[in-house]
Copies of this chain bind each other. A is one copy, B any other.
Amino acid sequence: MELTVYLAGQIHDNWRHEVEEKAREKNLPLTFVAPQTNHERSDNIGEEVFGKQPNSLYKDDAASSINNFRTQVLMQKADVVIALFGEKYKQWNTAMDASSAIAMNKPTIIIRPESLIHPLKELSNKANVTVETVDQALEVLAYLYE
């Protein structure tokens, strides 16, 4: 049974690559989809499509409309959502995506370091599973195929 996994979360390091590599090693028949991971491209996509905006508010709104479009298309295709939180950045997009996924009844795994237990406690409680490492998330995905 082939499944599609949406990987929500920060785009500052290549954690998604790690997930994909480890899934391949385990021979899991998973397809991964994700937001735009080129940070600059993600921030500029609005002006690249619509042209120069009057100020940064409008630049951001323009970019976010296209990023949200992408997320909506791909998350609707997903059977599972994994949302990774790290120690840096606001990551409200990640919280938004995880919360949307839960509201859409997408089975959801949160990955977050121990240091974030307290601020993420309500979101963790609503997600199906909360783990601390990519390896643990992969174990949970592999469990689907046992």
Contact = CB atoms under 8 A, between A and B. Distances in A.
A76 B105 contact: yes
Interface in A58-96: 58, 60-61, 63-74, 76-77, 79-80, 89-93, 95-96
Given A65-B129, A66-B129, A131-B50, A120 B92 contact: yes
Interface in A77-134: 77, 79-80, 89-93, 95-100, 102-105, 107, 109, 116-126, 128-131
Number of copies: 8
A96 B98 CA distance: 8
Interface of A: 1, 3-4, 31, 33, 36, 38, 41, 45, 48-50, 54-58, 60-61, 63-74, 76-77, 79-80, 89-93, 95-100, 102-105, 107, 109, 116-126, 128-131, 136, 139-140, 143-144, 146
A3 B74 CA distance: 10
Contacts of A55: 54
A75 to B, nearest CB: 10
User: Lowest 3 A-B CB distances belong to which pairs?
Assistant: A103-B103, A54-B54, A99-B99
Contacts of A64: 121-122, 124-125
A38 B102 CA distance: 27
Contact of A79 (B3, B38, B76, B116): B76
A99 to B, nearest CB: 4
Given A96-B123, A131-B50, A73 B144 contact: yes
